[in-house]
C-alpha cells in the first residue's frame, strides 16, 4: 500500500481469497469477490495456502481453488514470469555466478488449461487427472510468446509421450511458420536440466500449465530466491490482469515480519506496466529494487537479516 501510494493515486479495495475466504464464507472465492475483481482495472494478489487448510479430503474447500477460480473466471490464460537476476545477487544463487551471468529469460506459461482444469476424480482406490488442450488454447498462448520474444522461443513439451504435447508441438510449429523469431522444441526433462546448466541461452520459454509451474520455481533459484520472482497473468479481453508473486504464503515464517517483499514489489511493477499502462513508474520501481539490493539489502531468504519492514524502507528510499 505504501509503495502504491508513493507511485500514484489509486483507489484500493481489499477482498478475501483462499483461507481467509474459507474461514469467512466456506469457499475459497465468492461470486462477489470475483465480480469485484472483474470490475477492477487490475488485481494484485498476495498468496494463498497454509497448513490450516491443508487437506486430502476431496470434498473440503482448498485455498488454491480461489486462485484457480480467479484465473479461470477472469480468462487469464497467459502467465508471464520474468527471470532476470539482479546484478547484486549473482553470488546469492546456489548456482555459480559464471553460469547465471547474462540470464534474462521469460517463462510464458499457459494458465487456464491442461491437467489443472481437466476432469478429475477419485473412485475407490484409484484417482485420475486429465490433461486436455485444444489447438485454439495452444495457438493463443504461442502468439503471446512470439509477441514477447527477442531472440527465440523455446517451446517445452513431452511430445515423446503425451498426445497433448504432440498437438502442442504441431500447433506451435504452425504459429511459428508465420513468425520471424526462431523456434526450438525441448522435452521438459531436458529443459529442467538446461535451465541450470546454460540458463543464459534461453529467451522465451513457452510451455503448458503444469510444466510451467514446475520450471518457474526452478528458474526462480537463478535469481537467488523464490522470494524474488514476480508474475503477471493476462487475458485477451478488456478485463483486468492479475499480478502476484510466484512464491506461496510461506507459512513457516508467518507473523515473523521477515518475508521478502521484493517479488510482491516486482509484481506491482508488472501491474503498472502490463495492467495500468504506467511504464515509467514500472521502470522506476524496478530500478529502485535493483539499487536497494546493490546497497546491500538482504532478507533471510537471501542469507541476510533485513526484515520486511526494513526491505520496504530500502526500496522506498531508492524510489
**Known catalytic residues?**
116, 158, 189, 213, 217
Pairing of strands 126-129, 153-157: unpaired
Query: Whole-number minimum distance, CB 220 to Mg ion, in Å?
Result: 9
Query: Whole-number minimum distance, CB 191 to ligand IPM, in Å?
Result: 17
Residue with Cβ nearer Mg ion (209 or 258): 209
> Which residue has the CB atom at the shortest distance from ligand IPM?
64
Measured N-to-C along each axis, helices 279-294 and 308-317 cross at an angle, to the nearest 10 degrees, of: 120
Q: According to the binding rule CB under 6 A, does residue 110 interact with ligand IPM? A: no
How many CA atoms are closer than 13 Å to the CA of 194, on its beta-carbon side?
15
All residues at 6 or more sequence positions from 229 whose CB lies less than 8 Å from its CB, including other chains: 81, 82, 83, 216, 219, 220, 223, 245, 246, 247, 263, 266
Q: Do the Cβ atoms of 110 and 47 come closer than 8 Å?
A: no
Residue with Cβ nearer ligand IPM (159 or 263): 263
* DSSP β-bridge partners for residue 231: 244
Piece of 41-49, 97-105, 207-215, 258-266 that binds Mg ion (CB under 5 A): 207-215
Please count the residues of the chain.
319
Which residue's entry shows cell 524502507?
Answer: 313
Per partner kind, with CB cut-offs from 5 to 8 A, the member of Mg ion, ligand IPM, none near residue 67 is ligand IPM
Cα–Cα distance measured from residue 291 to residue 308, given in angstroms and rounded to the nearest whole number = 17
- With CB under 5 A as the contact rule, the residue among 110, 157, 208, 213 that binds Mg ion is 213
Q: According to the binding rule CB under 6 A, does residue 213 interact with ligand IPM? A: yes
Q: Do the Cβ atoms of 131 and 114 come closer than 8 Å?
A: yes
Q: According to the binding rule CB under 6 A, does residue 64 interact with ligand IPM? A: yes
Query: Per-residue x/- mask for ligand IPM, residues 244 to 283, rule CB under 6 A?
Result: --x-x-----------------------------------
| Residues of this chain that bind ligand IPM (CB under 6 A) | 48-49, 64, 67-68, 213, 246, 248
Amino acid at each position: 500500500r505504501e509503495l502504491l501510494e508513493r507511485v500514484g493515486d489509486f483507489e484500493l479495495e481489499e477482498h478475501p481469497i483462499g483461507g481467509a475466504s474459507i474461514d469467512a464464507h466456506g469457499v475459497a472465492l465468492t461470486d462477489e469477490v470475483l465480480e469485484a475483481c472483474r470490475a477492477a482495472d487490475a488485481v494484485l494478489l498476495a498468496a494463498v495456502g497454509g497448513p490450516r487448510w491443508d487437506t486430502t479430503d476431496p470434498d473440503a474447500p482448498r485455498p488454491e481453488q480461489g486462485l484457480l477460480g480467479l484465473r479461470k473466471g477472469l480468462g487469464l490464460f497467459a502467465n508471464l514470469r520474468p527471470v532476470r537476476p539482479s546484478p547484486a545477487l549473482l553470488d546469492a544463487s546456489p548456482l555459480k555466478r559464471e553460469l547465471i551471468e547474462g540470464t534474462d529469460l521469460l517463462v510464458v506459461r499457459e494458465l487456464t488449461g491442461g491437467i489443472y482444469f481437466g476432469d478429475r476424480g477419485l473412485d475407490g482406490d484409484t484417482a485420475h487427472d486429465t490433461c486436455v488442450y485444444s489447438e485454439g488454447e495452444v495457438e493463443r498462448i504461442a502468439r503471446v510468446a512470439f509477441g514477447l520474444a527477442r531472440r527465440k522461443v523455446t517451446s517445452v513439451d513431452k511430445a515423446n509421450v503425451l498426445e497433448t504435447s504432440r498437438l502442442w508441438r504441431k500447433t506451435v510449429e504452425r504459429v511459428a511458420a508465420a513468425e520471424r523469431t526462431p523456434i526450438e522444441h525441448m522435452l521438459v526433462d531436458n529443459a529442467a536440466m538446461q535451465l541450470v546448466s546454460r540458463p543464459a541461452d534461453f529467451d522465451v520459454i513457452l510451455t503448458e500449465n503444469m510444466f510451467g509451474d514446475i520450471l518457474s520455481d526452478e528458474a526462480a533459484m537463478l535469481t537467488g530466491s523464490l522470494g524474488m520472482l514476480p508474475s503477471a497473468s493476462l487475458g485477451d479481453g478488456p478485463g483486468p490482469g492479475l499480478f502476484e508473486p510466484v512464491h506461496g504464503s510461506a507459512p513457516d515464517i508467518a507473523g515473523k515480519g521477515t518475508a521478502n517483499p521484493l517479488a510482491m514489489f516486482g509484481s506491482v511493477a508488472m501491474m503498472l506496466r502490463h495492467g495500468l499502462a504506467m511504464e515509467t513508474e514500472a521502470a522506476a520501481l524496478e530500478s529502485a529494487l535493483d539499487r536497494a539490493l546493490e546497497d546491500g539489502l538482504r532478507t533471510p531468504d537471501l542469507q541476510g537479516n533485513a526484515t520486511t519492514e526494513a526491505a520496504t524502507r530500502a526500496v522506498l528510499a531508492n524510489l
